[in-house]
Amino acid sequence: MQKQFEKKELKKKSDNLSDWYTDVILKAQLADYAPIKGCMVIRPYGFALWEGIQHYMDPLIKAHKVENAYFPLFIPEKFLNLEKEHVEGFAPHMAVVTFAGGEELKERLVVRPTSETIMYEMYKRWTQSYRDLPIRINQWNNIVRWEKRTYLFLRTSEFLWQEGHCAHNTHKESVSEVRWALDMYKETYQNLLALYGVAGVKSESEKFAGAKKTYTFEMLMPDGKALQGCTSHDLGQNFAKAFHWTVQDEKGQPLYPWQNSWGFSTRSIGGLIMAHGDDQGLIMPPNIAPIQVILIPIPGSSPKTIKYAIAQREALKKIGIRVKCDDKDGESAGFKFNKWEVRGVPIRLEIGDKEAEEGIVTAVARDTMQKKKVSIDEISGMLETIQQNLLETHKKFTLDHTHTVESYDHFKKIMAGERGFISAFWCEDASCETKIKAETKASNRCLPLDLPAGRQVPKEEKGTCVHCGKPATHRWLFAQAY
């Protein structure tokens, strides 16, 4: 552990979320600022979270017959220029290589801000007939989007992600892929990261640059602001047309493939940190926790007790629990408790002479801080309970801060106060969206798709736009966004 950790107390989440957020990331050694503006270093404890996400998600992607590959880091600028909306969206964030191998480049190379253009150029070369579709490829890589204002994990000029890119013979197939990806992301957030959220479709002005439709998963943070957790895009035939990519259909006619892309990034770790932590530090959901159980033999224990502690560690390892024993010399028990609380380890086991004699352990759950004597067999169940509690707590928080609103006064009042999700009728006119954002800071997050099973599109309702009063058919979700 760094000295900085020992010297300074952690800032309080209850005082200021933003200060705490940065402080806990640095002190728990998840990440650090890099000596390059807007970039961060993901330290081992933070990177283990990303590995956890990869280990969970990669098999789901492969089971869906999507194969991993690797495409170049550099994209010729002319490729990005081919799809008009796409280049307009990304131009302000591009980092450009102009000099390489000792000379000025004739063609400027953009460090990939996303890989649609380079991948589809290759797909075009690899396919001739409808029989060559679907083509389904994913890559885990690094992405660069230059940002003026950055925030550890949530917005950095370089980040890590996976990007899936598929092409199909029909729009229906492609849309089904888009929805599959959205469901997979939702499952990852809920089951792995214990984060509740709302899946939905973006409005025209908020969709991805070049997409026909963008799907999203939006989560509420403790300060009442929303975090976009991932996106999944129905690209229609936009890119195929821009790249003049056709395959022969069954009748020998040219067909523009229907495409989709979907991405999930290290930003998700920002959500995890922000939603679950408390004044004592991080709280790691057990399913993703790099260390699920920290075992601390009380300093001054007898050799017999130390032996007992080691035996408990081995027993836990044997049943697949990620456990670590902190028997470092020269640190007090209190110091160690504090250290692992900051790092959010779900369960702490204290083992002293008394525990060894009784053949039990004293366990402290990180979420409730409740202490109890248990046998080692109960640890798995405790981890499951913590995982479930964290998701339930976040779900309850989200629902408690989701406001169904009928008037613009009410809308403004909420945004001036506690914020949260606002469900309101909107006329689907972009000018209302813009004004709402300018006046309240709340942007349009999505049209929620959390629907009764079997229904694909929300039923039309009769309503009036919360801003202009014109007729509206659906309630959209608004919030101030990260």
* Interaction site with a copy of itself (CB under 8 A): 2-3, 32, 34-36, 39-44, 46-48, 50-51, 67-76, 79, 91-102, 108-109, 111, 118, 121-122, 125-126, 128, 132, 137, 141-142, 144, 146-148, 157-158, 160
Structural element, H or E, at residue 33:
strand 31-33
Residue 102's Cβ-side half-sphere holds a number of Cα atoms within 13 Å equal to 0
Q: Shortest Cβ distance from residue 137 to a copy of itself (Å)?
A: 7
What are phi and psi for residue 71, nearest 5 degrees? -110, 155
Nearer of residues 101 and 320 to a copy of itself, judged by Cβ: 101
- Amino acid residing at 7: K
Q: What CA–CA distance (Å, rounded) separates 482 from 149?
A: 12
Q: Shortest Cβ distance from residue 147 to a copy of itself (Å)?
A: 7
Nearer of residues 251 and 459 to a copy of itself, judged by Cβ: 251
Nearer of residues 220 and 255 to a copy of itself, judged by Cβ: 255
Nearer of residues 99 and 369 to a copy of itself, judged by Cβ: 99
Q: What CA–CA distance (Å, rounded) separates 238 from 480?
A: 30
Q: Shortest Cβ distance from residue 309 to a copy of itself (Å)?
A: 20
Q: Shortest Cβ distance from residue 142 to a copy of itself (Å)?
A: 6
- Amino acid residing at 78: K
Q: What CA–CA distance (Å, rounded) separates 277 from 266?
A: 17
Q: Shortest Cβ distance from residue 196 to a copy of itself (Å)?
A: 28
Q: What is the DSSP string of 146-174?
A: --SS-BTTTB-SEEEEEEEEEEESSHHHH
Is-contact 298 304, C-beta < 8 A?
no
DSSP code for 376? G
112's tokens? 């990939």
Nearer of residues 104 and 377 to a copy of itself, judged by Cβ: 104
Q: Shortest Cβ distance from residue 294 to a copy of itself (Å)?
A: 17
Nearer of residues 76 and 458 to a copy of itself, judged by Cβ: 76
Residues sharing a CB contact under 8 Å with residue 135, sequence separation 6 or more, in sequence order: 123, 126, 127, 166, 167
Please tell me whether residue 471 adopts helix, strand or coil conformation: strand
Q: Shortest Cβ distance from residue 37 to a copy of itself (Å)?
A: 8
Q: Shortest Cβ distance from residue 453 to a copy of itself (Å)?
A: 32
Phi-psi region of 107 (alpha: psi -120 to 50; beta: other; left: phi over 0): beta
Nearer of residues 168 and 445 to a copy of itself, judged by Cβ: 168
Cis peptide bond N-terminal to 134, omega within 30 = yes
Nearer of residues 84 and 148 to a copy of itself, judged by Cβ: 148
316's tokens? 């836990």
